[in-house]
Chain A
Amino acid sequence: MNEQTHRLNCYVENKPGVLARIVGLISGRGYNIQTLNVGPTEDGTVSRMKIDILGTDKVVEQIILQLRNQVNVIEVTSRRM
């Protein structure tokens, strides 16, 4: 299967340790994050992360499911770039 860049859009609770958990989940599988963008949303208690990673559809899908399992992750969507 071909590797492709996927952009993950994550809405997470704005709490310490959340960024580290998400980045750790991706990097711990040996996947390199190409771009990472974190910023506030209008709701100050929620942050938005844009994460670009290179991977096969299957791997990225598994990462998304694992991300959704995280206690502080509100929603994850993705699209191929």
Chain B
Amino acid sequence: MNQNAKRTGAQALVESLAKAGTEVLFGYPGGQALDIFNCLTDAKFPFVLGRHEQGCVHMADGYARSTGKPGVCLVTSGPGATNTITGLATANIDGIPLVVITGQVPMSLIGTDAFQEADTTGVARGVSKHCFLVQSADEIPEIVAEAFYIATHGKPGPVVIDIPKNCQQGLTSAQYPERVSLRAYHPESAATSAQMTRLAKLINEAERPVIYAGGGVIASGAAKDVATLAHRAGIPVATTLMGLGSFDERDPLSLRMAGMHGTPAANWAMNEADLIIALGVRFSDRVTGKISKYAPKARIVHVDCDPASIGKNVSVALGIVADVKDVLTTVLSRVKSATHPEWIAKIDGWKKSHPVTWRQMHPKVIMPQAVMEAIDKATSGRAVMVTDVGQHQMWAAQHFRYSIPRHFLTSGGMGTMGFGIPAAIGAAIARPDHKTVAVCGDGGAQMTFEEVVVAVEHKLPVTFVIINNGCLGMVRQWQELFYGKNYSGSILTVRGRAANERLEQDLKYDYLPDFVKLAEAHGAEAYRVIDPAKLDATIAKAVKSKKTTVVEVIVEPRANVYPMIPAGKPVSEMVFK
């Protein structure tokens, strides 16, 4: 193209998105994004039309989580932009790279309460890594390049580009920059040689070490290095929820997930450890429990790319601001081959005496944990598992054996209900070579069910498994355990509601919606399973189907997630049933 040729800001945007590596754009149109949409038909990348802007952002998020590349999303101004806020917050707290483009009213109308005007950068600021408000068409190529850079460097996160309509229409000859150089933002940081010496010494001298691996291991592509370190120095590995898949759970050194609903072995090992090597974690309150009683015997080494994360929640003996992979590859040569037979024997004892298990409560009613095992079996543990949020999310974490990074996609930090269905669509578009299974509760499934049509339209062989217990299970569980069984607002069936929510009992249905009919109305192949004897076969059939499938599994409503360390309590108060 002629360097001086002018094109509109909208054309420059679409061209810049392609140059930034956009493979697919998720979004939803509207008045103040029309100029951009007008150029999309000539774009080098396909456009996927969602059905709600929240769904569009979660799709871009699912794409990003399963590939590590930034997900890209385009919406209009006002309500289009405000509908992205939950999706931005979800990606922000989990460190997921997104570039979200929002239309804006023309600059001449900003501040006049124009139709569909909202202060998008003002609203998005607190839930994003960075926001740009474009002031002229000339800025667009450079801002796009900077947005992709910011989204993917340092701790990844979502970046918003708000583009007033007059900037979309304005003419510019500005070109996409070959290099991005930001004056104030230089997130790259490396460990010092003294830190590496200290780290190697701590590892070599530890008697009861534990590696504690989080989402940062996956973001940094360091899973293989974690395994190498663990095997060389004989160190057991616990993961966070976000870190599932960073270490093979079938490995004898795996302690599986730590935290509130983690395994007793993982939590007790951290409690007894003399060294915790924390890699790409942020010591969430869901893992530490009572902070003053967390890992009382351990020296903690914390490696993270975010300087603000180190020492934020726990005091550390050694904090290293650096890329996890860089640190591990450097330290490996200094780590001595070791085994810790007594320590491992103790841990193996815990694994044997307190496995994470479940029991059938009624012979004719499916236990939700059995659904996760059925999915594990039907996909040989190789599915990309996407979850919504609640009890089923924890059961999915506990009863599916994870072995591959980027194969467990979940809203960890924000706990966003409605995440599962759209995120699974984004993941399935990104990774057509893998089977994607989304597990949702009946509550969360109703928040974004409209996106199922997108899977059907694009012929994505995703299986959406709806764990239907007729209630908002995790809320109900907390009410049962901590609020005197006062089930306020958590029961979705007509029967069993609190007095102030009571409905007439002569309704035709005890439960709405009928998920099978709903799924069929959306064009999906649908199954309902009630009989425990038919669970495995139905899941296997749905998973093998080349079509978009929805499986509604009616499960035991009284089932709770155990083990559990109640919020703010120490490990010693773990509850097993």
Q: Say whether B125 contacts A17, CB under 8 Å.
A: yes
Contact of A71 among B155, B184, B306 (CB under 8 A): B184
Q: Say whether A66 contacts B308, CB under 8 Å.
A: yes
B184: which A residues are within 8 A, CB to CB? Answer: 12-13, 70-74
Chain B residue nearest to A17 (CB atoms) is: B121
A69 to B129, CA, bound (A): 9
Is A80 at the interface (CB under 8 A from chain B)?
A: no
SS of A interface (majority): mixed
B1: which A residues are within 8 A, CB to CB? Answer: none
A68 to B306, CA, bound (A): 10
Is B27 at the interface (CB under 8 A from chain A)?
A: no
Distance (whole angstroms) from the CB of A47 to the closest CB of chain B: 12
Q: A48-81 vs B: 1/0 string, CB under 8 Å?
A: 0000000000000010011011111110000000
Q: Which of A66, A68, A71 has the most CB of B within 10 A?
A: A71
A59 to B131, CA, bound (A): 25
Q: Say whether B130 contacts A71, CB under 8 Å.
A: yes
On whether A65 and B308 interact (CB within 8 A), knowing A13-B184, A17-B131, A28-B126, the answer reads yes
Chain B residue nearest to A75 (CB atoms) is: B184
Distance (whole angstroms) from the CB of B120 to the closest CB of chain A: 11
A8-42 with Cβ < 8 A to chain B: 12-13, 16-17, 20-21, 24, 28
Distance (whole angstroms) from the CB of A7 to the closest CB of chain B: 20
Q: B155-187 vs A: 1/0 string, CB under 8 Å?
A: 100000000000000000000000000111101
Q: Give how many A-B residue pairs fall within 8 Å (CB-CB).
A: 43
A13: which B residues are within 8 A, CB to CB? Answer: 183-184
How many residues on chain A are close to B (CB under 8 Å)?
18
Contact of B133 among A17, A66, A72, A73 (CB under 8 A): A17
A44 to B335, CA, bound (A): 51
* Chain A interface residues toward B at CB < 8 A: 12-13, 16-17, 20-21, 24, 28, 62, 65-66, 68-74
Chain A residue nearest to B159 (CB atoms) is: A71
Distance (whole angstroms) from the CB of B131 to the closest CB of chain A: 6
The 8 sampled A-B contact pairs (Cβ below 8 Å) are: A16-B133, A24-B126, A62-B308, A62-B312, A65-B307, A65-B312, A68-B307, A69-B187
B122-159 with Cβ < 8 A to chain A: 122, 125-126, 129-131, 133, 135, 150, 154-155
A66 to B187, CA, bound (A): 12
A65 to B131, CA, bound (A): 19
A48 to B125, CA, bound (A): 21
On whether A69 and B133 interact (CB within 8 A), knowing A17-B121, A24-B125, the answer reads no
Chain A residue nearest to B128 (CB atoms) is: A21
| New contact pairs (6) apart from A24-B125, A62-B308, A66-B308, CB-CB < 8 Å | A17-B125, A28-B126, A69-B308, A70-B130, A71-B130, A72-B185
A73 to B307, CA, bound (A): 15
